[in-house]
Chains A and B, each alone.
Chain A
């Protein structure tokens, strides 16, 4: 249930239908307006087609690249290096973040260094990576991993640190071992923060794959951007941007769906349903006297 619904709930079915219609149309309104302005700008010659091609031309470029298999090839290259870099950064980040949250010693060992690395803008490492690893796949993947690592680590650490002490006490009071308390209380309790970090890390991985491919690549959507600029093909540049948007949106939606599924127990505006609608019977069976 969204905040608006919570604040201004109405029971009128006609208004509910109207709201449902608005909900479908509203997300499309802004892109359609942008498209309209785009058409108008070309029609009135506010911009030149070589600077900003018509939407139809972008679509043609998209279709043409698809037909030749060129787009698929670049999509595959970008996706695979993003996934590789993301896993290389996010998996250790979760493990180290949890470790630092659980153990003061681990934290004292790793956190100052990670905070130091965090203070440096990640792209500043690019020259060093290129020097060490050369202009190749390894330096690109490493850059993406670095970009994904930091938000995932910080969120995992904050998640473990933020676990309600009272819940840990329940485990202690009932004689659970340290390992059982960690796996059955601390980790599930810090899952919301870890998933938030994983989503933030993923969006940074997409950002860094563009940077990596802009700097040095012979394939991938970033390469397509540079190539489009060099060959004066803004339609191909825009088609690449659209492809990036699609990839980012799909991957984030997938992770968002996993997050919603994993956190369906949460009583928050984004996940919860009103109790009276989900399980009316056990609650109403309590009657008026029972709480």
Chain B
């Protein structure tokens, strides 16, 4: 599986008459992990929902391509959003098409990839928050996406689970090399996972700053080089129109 190339050109989004995003332009190369950070209410999720096709832009264009083909896009939301009337494996198979045995087999493989193979037959209500979010991750993986959109996917789990899930995303990325656009308000999460961080800010939101995190994976959370990058990011978040920075 390969990643998709993402190109966003002068994107503007208005919701209920209120401009949310203004002149947003960025690109992601195939297999790149791009993090978008910003304070609450900036419009990060709106940007991701626009990329997912859930919000129509007012102006501008989004191009997501896998070579000459249209890329497959999968989304993991902040909440697991599992369908409570389907068992765990059925929830994963839900987004697939084709004959039932093949779907079941692929769902089982996706569950194994997120280490939930023993939970296929149970109901979503019986899962913990972290397990439910991993099921949502399996549901995204099962479609073999070229672009994985993550909308603060680990915001609602405890710190330890969050770290485990982050490692899991890194592991899956190593296996599949899909392009990732991750929306988060957690600077450390952005630095740990991303190749590049975009800082969104202002009303309506624009890209305020961009930071390269050119470090190989797997990374250590206590790596001084990584920790040194917190400063320019915090500065960019606090200061409108900060200059571009790079690290590594």
Contacts and interface: CB of A to CB of B under 8 A. Distances in A.
A266 interface: yes
A267 B122 CA distance: 13
Q: Which of A170, A189, A267 has the most CB of B within 10 A?
A: A170
A196 to B, nearest CB: 15
A279 interface: yes
A291 B77 contact: no
Interface in B60-91: 73-75, 77, 79, 81, 83-86
Chain A contact-residue range equals 20 to 34
B16 interface: no
A291 B53 CA distance: 31
A286 B116 CA distance: 9
B117 to A, nearest CB: 9
A166 B74 CA distance: 15
A108 interface: no
A279 B53 contact: no
B130 A290 contact: yes
Interface in B117-152: 118-119, 121-126, 128-131, 143
B85 A265 contact: yes
A263 B54 CA distance: 30
Contacts of B115: 290
Contact of B118 (A173, A176, A265, A281): A281
A278 B121 CA distance: 11
A265 B164 contact: no
A225 B119 CA distance: 57
Contacts of B84: 265-267
B157 A285 contact: no
B94 interface: yes
A289 to B, nearest CB: 7
A291 B118 contact: no
Contacts of B81: 166-167, 169-170
Nearest to B123: A265
A166 B52 contact: no
B118 A282 contact: yes
Contacts of B94: 184
A282 B160 contact: no
A266 B121 CA distance: 15
Contacts of A191: 85
B29 to A, nearest CB: 23
Nearest to B136: A170
B144 to A, nearest CB: 12
Given A169-B54, A285-B118, A291 B128 contact: yes
A172 interface: yes
B50 to A, nearest CB: 12
Interface string A159-181: 00000001101101110100000
B52 A282 contact: no
Contacts of A281: 118
Given A185-B83, A282-B118, A275 B53 contact: no
B234 interface: no
Interface in B177-208: none
Given A279-B122, A281-B118, A282-B119, A289 B160 contact: yes
B238 interface: no
A29 interface: no
A256 interface: no
Nearest to B96: A174
Nearest to A184: B94
Nearest to A284: B118
B95 interface: yes
A291 B54 contact: no
B161 interface: yes
Q: Which of B83, B95, B122 has the most CB of A within 10 A?
A: B83
B164 A174 contact: no
B223 interface: no
A20 interface: no
Interface of B: 52-54, 73-75, 77, 79, 81, 83-86, 94-95, 115-116, 118-119, 121-126, 128-131, 143, 157-158, 160-161, 164
10 contacts: A169-B81, A170-B75, A170-B83, A170-B95, A173-B52, A265-B85, A265-B123, A265-B125, A279-B122, A282-B122
Which 4 pairs of residues, A with B, have the shortest CB-CB distance?
Answer: A291-B130, A267-B125, A282-B118, A174-B95
Given A170-B83, A291-B161, 7 more contacts: A167-B83, A173-B75, A267-B123, A272-B125, A291-B129, A291-B131, A291-B158
